[in-house]
Structure 1
Amino acid sequence: MAFLLMTVTVLHLVTLAMLFIATMEKSWYSWGDRENTDLWYKCTFENSTGTRVCATARESDWLQSVQALMILSVVLSSISFMVFLCQLFTMSKGGLFYFTGLCQLFAGFAAFAAVLIYTFQRKAILQDPRELEMGHFGYCYILAWVCVPLLLVSGGLYVHLRKRV
């Protein structure tokens, strides 16, 4: 039981960290080493100064949807972890972690909706006159996709997890 509890806790913390990095880091779409964009900024590398210059991303309804869903996913996963810790110390023996699991499942569905919107609406989100085929998805986008099954699996584990001690 202790091993399962540790495994679920570590999985939750790793997923939460990955989700936070995917939301805040600057590489959702990239055009080589010169330019990349994320949910908040569009950054360009200037050769003359050797620095990155970042400007706020152009707002669109699709981008705001992705931003809101990713933030919702981080918040729900954080709430899920805090509730799990509270339930771990206050719940009676034999209780199930339903609320924790449902919060984690909804976090997974929110992240899934966000990456789907970004996938299918990237042209409207990026609003870039260049061809999108010249660029590629960045590591934060891939990290967000990896978080989706991890969130759903950990949510399912929480729903079936029973307090034994």
Structure 2
Amino acid sequence: MVFLLLSLTLLHLVTLTLLLVATVEKNSNPGQSWWIWAESEITDLWYNCFHDNKTGTWLCTATSESDWLQSVQALMILSLVFSSVSFLVFVAQLFVMSRGRLFYFTGLCQTFAGFTDMAACLIFSFHRKEILNDSRDVSGGRFGYCFVLAWLCVPLLLVSAVLYVHLRKKQ
């Protein structure tokens, strides 16, 4: 039982960390973004960055706001909030919940986190032309590392939600 609790806690913390990185990672590396135009131009949820070859640094400006981008930003932050609340509730339930009860609320919060993360990824996938707000053809770019991390979090959040719902508090 202790091994299961530790494993589930570790899974939750790893997923929360991946979700945090996917949401707030500032581009300092050409691979760590939501969209890569070229090795010298990248975009994430918050910034558009260009690599200046003269100085060897990344010059970043805020992304141009669109309704779709704001939806993705809000859903990713909401997913972080749901997952954080889920973890805090889980820790609280370990101490105050009576023996034999199930972690339903924790599982429900994790499920909401998984679905909001999935919705953000789907919106970015299907509306990237409007989100990137660029006249160029999006076939000239590719999805970046943070986008993949966000998608990786979806099954991890949903699996941990199922495990929480089936986990019963024992002595």
Cα RMSD of the aligned pairs, angstroms, is 0.7
Q: Share of identical aligned residues, percent? A: 64
Unaligned runs of 5+ in 2: 28-32
Question: Match of 2:17?
Answer: 17
Deviation of residue 32 (structure 1)?
2.5
Question: Match of 1:107?
Answer: 113
Q: How many equivalent residue pairs?
A: 165
Tell me whether 1:5 sits opposite 2:11 in the alignment. no
d(CA) in 2 for partners of 1:62, 1:132: 16
Q: How does 1:10-159 map to 2 (within 5 A)?
A: 10-25=10-25, 26=27, 27-159=33-165
Segments ≥4 residues shifted beyond 3 Å: none
d(CA) in 2 for partners of 1:84, 1:140: 27
d(CA) in 1 for partners of 2:111, 2:148: 19
Instruction: Compute the TM-score of the two structures, normalised by the length of structure 2.
Output: 0.95
Deviation of residue 90 (structure 1)?
1.0
Output the amino acid matched with 1:68: A
Instruction: Compute the TM-score of the two structures, normalised by the length of structure 1.
Output: 0.98
d(CA) in 2 for partners of 1:35, 1:88: 47
d(CA) in 1 for partners of 2:55, 2:37: 19
**Per-residue deviation, residues 59-91 of structure 1 (Å, max 9, x unmatched):** 000000000000000011000000000000111
